[in-house]
């Protein structure tokens, strides 16, 4: 059978960089091909070539046995290739129907928009592939998972046979990921072919028919989930042995560094997002905060970091009452904070790496004397941190916006971890990062714990919590459902609690122990 | 990974892009001058003129070509025109097209027919005439623009030569245009810095015009009401009064923004109207010149005036150096101090600023105060350096143009100074262009607008000249893929 899509010898050279080096790739009809590789391996470049966003330096594209030239997304769509981007290309204030037909509007009487016909077709597509979405809903009101379904419908509406899904699970909750996988399987059953770009090994193993691994712009291996193991794939991606399990010794919890009592916090919509939460984090332990996204974890951590006002209750850090303290005061007390949305909260993208590394210490010596910034000291520190934390950047003067996500996160980690840390608040510290960076950041968090910091780790990835945490708090609808020791708890138990199920043990009473200032 | 749209902006532009933008604007402006010039249009179309008997008074001789393309509507019956070395008198206009003939024909016919033939041009019959007229029109306009803004190079050299020989009398006339350009540039530099500083802190200060007015009012008040002070006390006080006045005027919308979230664009615009009305009332009331009945303030004391360096008409004054010093100060503040670091962080990412423990309230108010202060200083500069009193029609729209200036200068002090010099030069030259070449002054506004558009949207220039996109843009699009790949 002729493959639906063949890429032959695709090479793409950017000035100074070979992003794709002589890549061959075949996609059969009805196949799920996983394209696996770290950030920077050339996956996105390759798909952008296929989608016509870049012109390849060399190589050819063959579709259904015929060589084609694709000079833009228009050509790609005409050839039946559709792409679901990692970051949705939707217009939030428009409805689902309007978004889907954008650029391809059905016209009635040569002048009028035929919304009904479009909506009918969208309903048909929804029904065919299990893509549940209300065509008249406004996109901005939809949850992320539903927005992604709209993207897929958009592609199907343009009669695509080959769907490229670029890191589709990066923004999804575990439930949404399951839904997506079900949809992908139905698409394939309906005769579509899928290229699935990811760096998450579990997903590849669960979904793919065939796996192609890219590293540094080259195909380094091709296998199937049946033949491969996660360790094998990780080693292929990274080019060396990777330990997926975090190496750590048992925790030695000491005095409490964070004491939260009866905390109530409002969300942006002025609803109670955190209700009567009490817990303690001790020095030398990692407390994992598990929960489905949107159950108050974000608001809780923001309140602890001083980014969000506390409605009632108290927060003590190292014995000091900081319930209403400014972020700066907390930082001075030894709080390090890795924010959930690194680009929105943690970085100034237009600033160079060096300036981002002093974001919360710029006013202190040695970075400033009086109001004068000490460039020499700032640069020296930046050079040291870039080296110590392995931030891959052309120079410390490069704008952070030009770094990859993993390296952006390393900038934040370098900045926050370089100070003496009493309490580390890490919110989704590895979201969207590649295996190498995750391994690195996990090791650094454990290292901080071993040096005596208390760590509160918030993650929507249960695996991360299971691996790193010494103690696990489960949050559901703003309340803490359970406080469990990590060693003796199963995924199923936690999963049940995350969904609101009751735990047989009553929640332990909050620590009342009083500790003097450090 | 997540990438914001601003990554796609080309961060560094080659230095010649703005120059190319200016040249393009001048070219398009030239085309505009040509098509808006009735005389050129006339040269391109038929102009019937009857040429007649020999005419002998050499003082009124003009060539026919010149007469036709330069003064088509002024060549009257009875005028003398020179054709092929012979002066002819125009005796009659022929309006019936069937009777009209071309000049070349007329040349042939003249010896036989004698005087009394009608001559007309048609572009295709004699294209050089039209083109020459077009060229002449553009040249006149731009030469006037240049001479009005920089000066006549020949005159300048002559004046310098005479001055070296001990005769400075020519200097003032030769260097007057340059002086005027710098005088006009000075408030542009200050107001441009004001808006640029606001931009850096993420604030859109539309109120520079109002702050300029208030700065003028406070400085003129200090300038005329305090008497008997030595210049080194009175002058700085006058300038400072302008800065503080404008600064407080700017701080009000800053405070409103920080405390209530009221948008600074709306509030600064409102503050502008209040400033205009306030100025009107003051100049018609408490600040009205005693014994006068026009809405102008008294003159400021000589001790409050910015020194001028040359006598006579040359208005160039110390304010220009004050403005340059302020540009250096703003640069230092923005890039070398923690204050500037805070302002820029608040401007580039307010959430990250809050994360870092930087007070948004304080920085918004501070930024608006500094921004307003610079605009107010521009007002003080014009009071203390140029007019010495406050008229009710005080500003020439510096506050409005300053927004464009800040954009043009990419909110960088050096860029703002260069943009201000360009605008000041264009503005000063425009007057002469209008009087010498009869080009409407609005052409200059259009020219300024085109320069801004071309610099703000370099894609236009690139597509116009079919320049290749900078490869960095594609690199940025490739995002982390290549950023990390480059390291691999």
B142-182 confidence digits (pLDDT tens) = 898 898 888 888 989 998 898 888 888 888 888 889 999 99
Work out the mean pLDDT of chain A and round it to a whole number: 86
pLDDT, tens digit, for every residue of A126-152? Answer: 888 888 888 888 988 887 778 888 999
Asked if residue A465 lies in contact with residue A457, where contact means CB atoms within 8 angstroms, the answer is: yes
Q: How sure is the predictor about A512, in pLDDT bands with cuts at 50, 70 and 90?
A: very low
- B484 contacts on A by Cβ (under 8 Å): 39-40, 392, 403-404, 406-407
Q: How sure is the predictor about B112, in pLDDT bands with cuts at 50, 70 and 90?
A: low
Q: How sure is the predictor about A454, in pLDDT bands with cuts at 50, 70 and 90?
A: very high
Tokens representing A249?
């010794």
Between chains, do B484 and A39 touch, taking CB under 8 Å as contact?
yes
Residue B404 above 70 pLDDT?
yes
Residue B94 above 60 pLDDT?
no
Tokens representing B404?
């464009």
Chain A window 98-157: which residues touch B at a Cβ cutoff of 8 Å?
none
Of A371, A393, A399, the CB nearest to B339: A371
Q: Establish if A373 touches chain B: CB-CB under 8 angstroms.
A: yes
- Which string of b and e fits B143-161 if b means at least 16 CB within 10 Å? ebbbbbbbbbeebbeebee
Query: Can you tell me the mean pLDDT for A443-455?
Result: 92
Cis peptide bond N-terminal to A366, omega within 30? yes
Tokens representing B144?
């006037």
Q: Establish if A44 touches chain B: CB-CB under 8 angstroms.
A: yes
Report pLDDT for B68.
52
Asked if residue B392 lies in contact with residue B216, where contact means CB atoms within 8 angstroms, the answer is: no
More confident residue, A413 or B49: A413
Report pLDDT for A33.
94
Between chains, do B354 and A403 touch, taking CB under 8 Å as contact?
no
Antiparallel, parallel or unpaired: β A193-198 and A162-166: parallel
Tokens representing B293?
């009945």
What is the C-alpha separation between A426 and A477, in angstroms, rounded?
20
Residue B486 above 60 pLDDT?
no
Between chains, do B355 and A368 touch, taking CB under 8 Å as contact?
no
Q: How sure is the predictor about A448, in pLDDT bands with cuts at 50, 70 and 90?
A: very high
More confident residue, B19 or A259: A259
Q: Establish if A403 touches chain B: CB-CB under 8 angstroms.
A: yes
Residue A506 above 70 pLDDT?
no
Work out the mean pLDDT of chain B and round it to a whole number: 80
Residue B252 above 90 pLDDT?
yes
What is the C-alpha separation between A157 and A101, in angstroms, rounded?
8
What is the C-alpha separation between A408 and A349, in angstroms, rounded?
9
Residue B5 above 70 pLDDT?
no
For every residue of A5-73, DSSP letters joined together read: EEEEEEEEEETTEEEEEEEEEEE-TT-EEEEE--TTSSHHHHHHHHTTSS--SEEEEEETTEEE---SH
- B476 contacts on A by Cβ (under 8 Å): 402
- A360 contacts on B by Cβ (under 8 Å): 355-357
Q: What is the largest CA-CA distance in chain A?
A: 79
Between chains, do B7 and A328 touch, taking CB under 8 Å as contact?
no
More confident residue, A431 or A375: A375
What is the C-alpha separation between B194 and B198, in angstroms, rounded?
6
Of B4, B342, B484, the CB nearest to A349: B4
- Burial zone of A383 (CB within 10 Å; 0-12 exposed, 13-18 middle, 19+ buried): middle
| Terminal alpha carbon distance of chain A | 72
B68 Cβ contact list (under 8 Å, min separation 6): B42, B43, B47, B49, B75, B121, B129
Taking each continuous run of H as one helix and of E as one strand, the counts in chain A are: 16, 24
Residue B89 above 80 pLDDT?
no
Between chains, do B357 and A45 touch, taking CB under 8 Å as contact?
no
Residue B29 above 70 pLDDT?
yes
The Cα-based distances of A289 to A258, A298, A447, A483 in angstroms read 14, 10, 19, 9
Instruction: Classify residue A325 by its DSSP letter.
Output: -
Q: How far is CA B35 from the centre of its chain?
A: 22
Q: How far is CA B382 from the centre of its chain?
A: 16
Query: Which residue do the tokens 């029904």 mark?
Result: A127
Query: Can you tell me the mean pLDDT for B412-440?
Result: 88
The Cα-based distances of B116 to B53, B82, B125, B256, B406 in angstroms read 7, 14, 21, 79, 62
Q: What percent of chain B has pLDDT over 70?
A: 74
Residue A223 above 60 pLDDT?
yes
Q: Establish if B329 touches chain A: CB-CB under 8 angstroms.
A: no
Q: Establish if A333 touches chain B: CB-CB under 8 angstroms.
A: no
Asked if residue B79 lies in contact with residue B60, where contact means CB atoms within 8 angstroms, the answer is: yes
Report pLDDT for B469.
60
Q: What percent of chain A has pLDDT over 90?
A: 39
Instruction: Classify residue B337 by its DSSP letter.
Output: B
Report pLDDT for B464.
82
Of B7, B338, B349, the CB nearest to A402: B7
A288 Cβ contact list (under 8 Å, min separation 6): A457, A458, A459, A464, A465, A466, A468, A469, A471, A472, A473, A486
Report pLDDT for B125.
58
Report pLDDT for B232.
93
Report pLDDT for B362.
94
SS3 A140: helix
Residue A341 above 50 pLDDT?
yes
Residue B95 above 60 pLDDT?
no
Antiparallel, parallel or unpaired: β A17-27 and B86-89: unpaired
- A166 contacts on B by Cβ (under 8 Å): none
**Which of A265-279, A423-437, B81-95, B359-373 is the most confident on average?**
B359-373
Report pLDDT for A110.
73
More confident residue, B260 or B34: B260
Number of other residues whose CB lies within 10 A of the CB of residue A447: 12
- Which string of b and e fits A386-417 if b means at least 16 CB within 10 Å? beebebbbeebebbbbbbbbbbbbbbbbbbbb
Query: Can you tell me the mean pLDDT for A2-14?
Result: 88
Report pLDDT for A305.
92
Asked if residue A189 lies in contact with residue A29, where contact means CB atoms within 8 angstroms, the answer is: no
Residue A511 above 50 pLDDT?
no
Report pLDDT for A516.
39
Tokens representing A115?
């919304």
What is the C-alpha separation between B450 and B408, in angstroms, rounded?
11
What is the C-alpha separation between A182 and B208, in angstroms, rounded?
59
B7, B331, B340, B341, best to mutate vs chain A, most A CBs in 10 Å: B341
pLDDT, tens digit, for every residue of B189-228? Answer: 999 999 999 999 999 999 999 999 999 999 999 999 999 8
Q: How sure is the predictor about B118, in pLDDT bands with cuts at 50, 70 and 90?
A: very low
| Element housing A286 (H / E) | strand A286-290
pLDDT, tens digit, for every residue of B11-25? Answer: 456 677 888 888 888
Report pLDDT for A455.
95
Report pLDDT for B488.
30
Residue A54 above 60 pLDDT?
yes
Q: What is the largest CA-CA distance in chain B?
A: 96
Beta bridge partners of B391: B296
Q: Establish if A15 touches chain B: CB-CB under 8 angstroms.
A: yes
For every residue of A71-85, DSSP letters joined together read: -SHHHHHHTTEEEE-
CA atoms within 13 A on the CB side of A234: 18
More confident residue, A205 or B49: A205
Beta strands in A160-245 (DSSP E): 162-166, 193-198, 210-215, 218-223
Report pLDDT for A275.
92
Asked if residue B60 lies in contact with residue B75, where contact means CB atoms within 8 angstroms, the answer is: no
pLDDT, tens digit, for every residue of A75-125? Answer: 898 899 999 887 788 888 899 998 988 877 777 777 787 888 888 888 998
Report pLDDT for B223.
95
Report pLDDT for A177.
83
Of B336, B338, B481, the CB nearest to A45: B481
| Element housing A206 (H / E) | helix A201-207
pLDDT, tens digit, for every residue of A295-337? Answer: 888 899 999 999 999 999 999 998 899 999 999 999 999 999 9
Q: How sure is the predictor about B484, in pLDDT bands with cuts at 50, 70 and 90?
A: very low
What is the C-alpha separation between B95 and A31, in angstroms, rounded?
84
Chain B window 110-129: which residues touch A at a Cβ cutoff of 8 Å?
none
Asked if residue A170 lies in contact with residue A428, where contact means CB atoms within 8 angstroms, the answer is: no
* Ranges B431-435, B446-450, B468-472: which has the least confidence: B468-472
Q: Establish if B76 touches chain A: CB-CB under 8 angstroms.
A: no
Residue B245 above 80 pLDDT?
yes
Q: What percent of chain A has pLDDT over 70?
A: 94
The Cα-based distances of B58 to B73, B78, B79, B90, B147 in angstroms read 21, 14, 12, 15, 31
- Burial zone of B474 (CB within 10 Å; 0-12 exposed, 13-18 middle, 19+ buried): middle
What is the C-alpha separation between B134 and B455, in angstroms, rounded?
27
Q: How sure is the predictor about A424, in pLDDT bands with cuts at 50, 70 and 90?
A: very high
Q: Kindly report the nearest CA distance between residue A308 and chain B, in angstroms.
A: 10
Between chains, do A327 and B355 touch, taking CB under 8 Å as contact?
yes
Residue A356 above 80 pLDDT?
yes
**Which of A449-458, B80-89, B93-102 is the most confident on average?**
A449-458
Task: Give the CA angle between residues B459, B460, B465 to the nearest 5°.
Answer: 100
Report pLDDT for B1.
36
């Amino acid at each position: 059978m002729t493959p639906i899509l063949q890429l032959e010898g695709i090479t793409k050279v950017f000035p100074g960089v070979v992003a794709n080096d002589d890549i061959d790739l075949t996609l059969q009809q009805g196949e799920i091909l996983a394209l696996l590789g770290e950030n920077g391996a050339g996956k996105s470049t390759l798909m952008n070539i296929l989608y016509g966003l870049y012109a390849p330096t060399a190589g050819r594209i063959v579709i259904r046995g015929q060589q084609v030239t694709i000079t833009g997304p228009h050509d790609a769509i005409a050839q039946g290739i559709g792409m679901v981007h990692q970051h949705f290309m939707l217009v939030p204030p428009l409805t689902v129907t309007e978004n889907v037909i954008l650029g391809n509007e059905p016209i009635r009487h040569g002048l009028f928009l035929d919304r009904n016909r479009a909506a009918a077709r969208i309903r048909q597509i929804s029904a065919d592939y299990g893509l549940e979405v209300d065509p008249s809903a406004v996109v901005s009101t939809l949850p992320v998972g539903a927005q992604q379904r709209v993207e897929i419908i958009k592609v199907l509406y343009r009669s695509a046979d080959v769907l490229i899904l670029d890191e589709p699970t990066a923004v999804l909750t575990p439930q949404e990921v399951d839904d997506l996988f079900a949809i992908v399987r139905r698409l394939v059953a309906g005769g579509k072919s899928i290229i699935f770009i990811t760096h998450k090994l579990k997903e590849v193993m669960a979904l793919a028919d065939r796996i192609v691994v890219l590293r540094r712009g080259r195909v380094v291996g091709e296998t199937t989930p049946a033949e491969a193991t996660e360790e094998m794939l990780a080693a292929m991606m990274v080019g060396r042995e990777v330990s997926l399990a975090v190496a750590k010794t048992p925790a030695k919890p000491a005095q409490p560094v964070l004491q939260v009592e009866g905390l109530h916090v409002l969300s942006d919509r002025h609803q109670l997002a955190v209700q009567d939460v009490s817990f303690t984090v001790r020095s030398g332990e990692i407390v994992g905060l598990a929960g489905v996204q949107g159950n108050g974890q974000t608001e809780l951590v923001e309140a602890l970091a001083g980014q969000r006002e506390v409605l009632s209750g108290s927060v003590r850090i190292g014995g000091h009452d900081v319930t209403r303290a400014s972020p700066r005061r907390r930082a001075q007390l030894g709080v390090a904070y890795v924010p959930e949305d690194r680009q929105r909260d943690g970085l100034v993208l237009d600033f160079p790496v060096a300036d981002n590394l002093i974001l919360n210490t710029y006013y202190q010596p040695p970075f400033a004397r009086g109001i004068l910034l000490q460039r020499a000291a700032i640069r020296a520190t930046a050079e040291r941190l870039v080296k110590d934390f392995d931030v891959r950047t052309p120079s410390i003067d490069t704008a952070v916006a030009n770094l990859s996500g993993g390296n952006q996160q390393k900038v934040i980690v370098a900045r926050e971890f370089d100070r003496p840390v009493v309490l580390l608040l890490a919110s989704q510290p590895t979201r969207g990062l590649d295996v190498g960076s995750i391994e690195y950041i996990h090791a650094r968090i454990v290292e901080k714990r071993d040096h005596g910091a208390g760590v509160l780790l918030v993650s929507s990835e249960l695996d991360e919590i299971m691996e790193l945490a010494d103690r696990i708090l489960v949050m559901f609808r703003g309340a803490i459902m359970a406080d469990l020791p990590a060693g003796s708890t199963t995924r199923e138990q936690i999963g049940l609690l995350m969904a609101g199920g009751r735990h047989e043990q009553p929640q332990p009473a909050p620590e009342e122990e009083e500790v003097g200032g450090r | 990974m997540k990438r914001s749209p601003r990554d796609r902006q080309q961060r560094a532009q080659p230095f010649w892009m703005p120059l190319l933008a200016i040249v393009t604007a001048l070219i398009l402006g030239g085309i505009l001058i040509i098509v808006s010039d009735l005389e050129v249009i006339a040269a391109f179309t038929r102009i019937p003129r009857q040429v007649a008997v020999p005419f002998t008074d050499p003082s009124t001789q003009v060539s026919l070509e010149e007469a036709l393309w330069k003064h088509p509507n002024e060549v009257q019956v009875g005028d003398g025109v020179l054709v092929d070395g012979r002066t002819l008198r125009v005796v009659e206009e022929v309006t019936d097209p069937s009777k009209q003939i071309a000049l070349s024909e007329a040349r042939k016919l003249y010896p036989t027919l004698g005087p009394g033939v009608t001559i007309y041009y048609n572009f295709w019959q004699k294209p050089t005439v039209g083109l020459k007229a077009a060229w002449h029109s553009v040249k006149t306009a731009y030469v006037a623009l240049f001479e009005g803004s920089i000066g006549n190079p020949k005159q300048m050299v002559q004046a310098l030569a005479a001055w070296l020989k001990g005769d400075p009398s020519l200097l003032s006339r030769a260097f007057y245009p340059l002086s005027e350009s710098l005088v006009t540039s000075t408030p542009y530099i200050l107001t441009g810095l004001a808006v640029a500083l606001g931009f850096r802190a993420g604030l859109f200060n539309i109120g520079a015009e109002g702050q300029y007015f208030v700065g003028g009012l406070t400085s003129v008040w200090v300038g005329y009401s305090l008497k008997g002070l030595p210049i080194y006390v009175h002058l700085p006080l006058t300038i400072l009064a302008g800065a503080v006045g404008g600064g407080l005027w700017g701080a009000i919308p800053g405070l409103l923004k920080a405390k209530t979230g009221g948008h600074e664009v709306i509030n600064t615009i409102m503050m502008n109207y209040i400033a205009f009305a306030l100025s009107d009332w003051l100049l018609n009331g408490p600040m009205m010149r005693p014994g006068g009945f026009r809405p102008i303030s008294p003159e400021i004391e000589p001790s409050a005036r910015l020194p001028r360096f040359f006598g006579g008409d040359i208005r160039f004054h110390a304010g220009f150096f004050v403005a340059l010093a302020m540009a250096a100060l703003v640069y230092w503040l923005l890039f070398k101090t923690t204050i500037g670091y805070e302002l820029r962080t608040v401007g580039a990412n307010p959430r990250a600023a809050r994360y870092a423990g930087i007070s948004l309230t304080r920085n918004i108010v501070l930024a608006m105060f500094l921004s307003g202060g610079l605009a107010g200083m521009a007002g003080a500069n014009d009071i203390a350096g140029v007019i010495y009193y406050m008229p009710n029609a005080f500003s020439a729209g510096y506050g409005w143009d300053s927004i464009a200036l800040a954009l043009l200068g990419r909110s960088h002090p050096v860029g703002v100074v260069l943009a201000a010099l360009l605008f000041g030069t264009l503005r000063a030259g425009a007057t002469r262009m209008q009087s010498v070449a009869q080009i409407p002054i609005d052409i200059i506004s259009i020219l300024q607008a085109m320069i801004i558009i071309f610099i703000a949207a370099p894609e236009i220039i690139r597509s116009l000249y079919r320049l290749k996109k900078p490869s960095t843009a594609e690199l940025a699009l490739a995002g982390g893929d290549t950023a990390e790949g480059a390291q691999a």
